[in-house]
Amino acid sequence: MVYVDGIGIASALGIGVEANLQALHNCTNGIGTIRNFSTAIDVPVGEISQNNAELQQLLHISAQQVVSRTSLIGMVAATEAIENAALTELSHVAFISSTSVGGMDLTPKFYSQYMHNAQRGQLRYVAQHDCASSTNAIANYCHIGGFRTAISTACSSAANAIMMGARLVENGLVEKAIVGGTDALCAYTIDGFKSLMILDNAQCRPFDASRAGLNLGEGAAYLVLSNRPTNRTICALTGWGNANDAFHQTAVSAEGIGPQLAMRAALSKAQLNASDISYINAHGTGTANNDASEGAALCAIWNKKLPLFSSTKAFTGHTLAAAGAIEAVYSVLAIKHQQVWANLNFAQPMPELPNLIPITQTHNEAKVDNVLSNSFGFGGNCSSVIFSRL
């Protein structure tokens, strides 16, 4: 079995597990206006309030050192996870981190000079562009000395990082693994999703009939996985599954074939029946395609006996590669505190799925034994993980 010994997080709800827990408990979202960079596109986002200088100060990193925002946010979350698990010896701990954005927040600083003069442009601003750069930066900062790798499979990235770490632990290749993901907001991301016409101009409404798109967010989260329980163990990671319906570059099939396969694989791995799931932390982006597809998949597996479910993206925005890890932390907190989180901004069910009704208030005294967390990405890459109470 694989155990979860520690968690760390930074999101629009705040830095640290406690800040996020309180916001979830109080149904307070972190969606607001863009403050940390300039863009002509005015849409609501889930932005971490601290700017880069403040994050560097928090991490005791010199203001003169160039570090991508993706790396900085990841360092904050990974440090908390390590401290939460009371890890002191990290030389043989594996580190699997995911990202989509990488260091793209720094890239415009290079091109603003290069476009005026091809002989100019500071390469330190593009050296952190690739995905592996943030993984190395976080591992080096935290002194993680074991196997390390980066995963980038769009919105399922962090869930796949969790699965890879679980396999390493389960098969005896490592005793402990730190797994998760990090992504920062930047102009490229805003522009890219605007071109896809899937950004909502208001706060997103997952699974609602009036949903009109997603709100982008930024954040990072990491979990410490272990091959045996310790006095820090919170819960177990019992199931996982990944599938691809090969339907479209940016959409999932209407029937949700990939999501169905991923969820069924996770249930099988955990040796659980569908009825054993207490709560589903849905992918629930607020886009027309995702919510209809995921909803169809949920109904195909649970029919009219759906467990409590919600999407927490109306709290944080869609944090892309970090989403699976942020929502995994929320799933772990659901088990630890026996609470399940509200699906904010929901008013009316989708006409095609009238029985698909998420919870709209945080349940403070829920019985939470098994939580299924979904992360479905571009390219049809679909992943589900299950956390279980000990």
Helix axes 157-170, 323-337, angle to 10 degrees: 60
Catalytic pick among 131, 142, 283, 382: 283
Catalytic-labelled residue, pool 131, 155, 204, 235: 155
What six digits make up the tokens of 98?
A: 């995911």
Q: Which amino acid is at 9?
A: I
Task: Give the integer Cα–Cα distance in Å for 250 and 51.
Answer: 31
CB 351 within 8 A of CB 361: no
DSSP one-letter string for 224-242: EEESS--TT--EEEEEEEE
Instruction: Report in angstroms the alpha-carbon separations of 307 from 280, 298, 367, 376.
Output: 7, 10, 11, 19
Task: For residue 283, indicate whether it is catalytic.
Answer: yes
Give the DSSP letter of residue 275: G
142, 186, 235, 318: which one is catalytic?
A: 318
Q: Quick check: is 155 catalytic? A: yes
**From CA 201, how far away is CA 22, in angstroms rounded?**
27
In sequence order, what E strands does 324-380 have?
Answer: 370-376
Measured distance CA(285)–CA(291) in Å, rounded: 7
DSSP-based three-state secondary structure for 70: helix
Residues belonging to the active site: 155, 283, 318
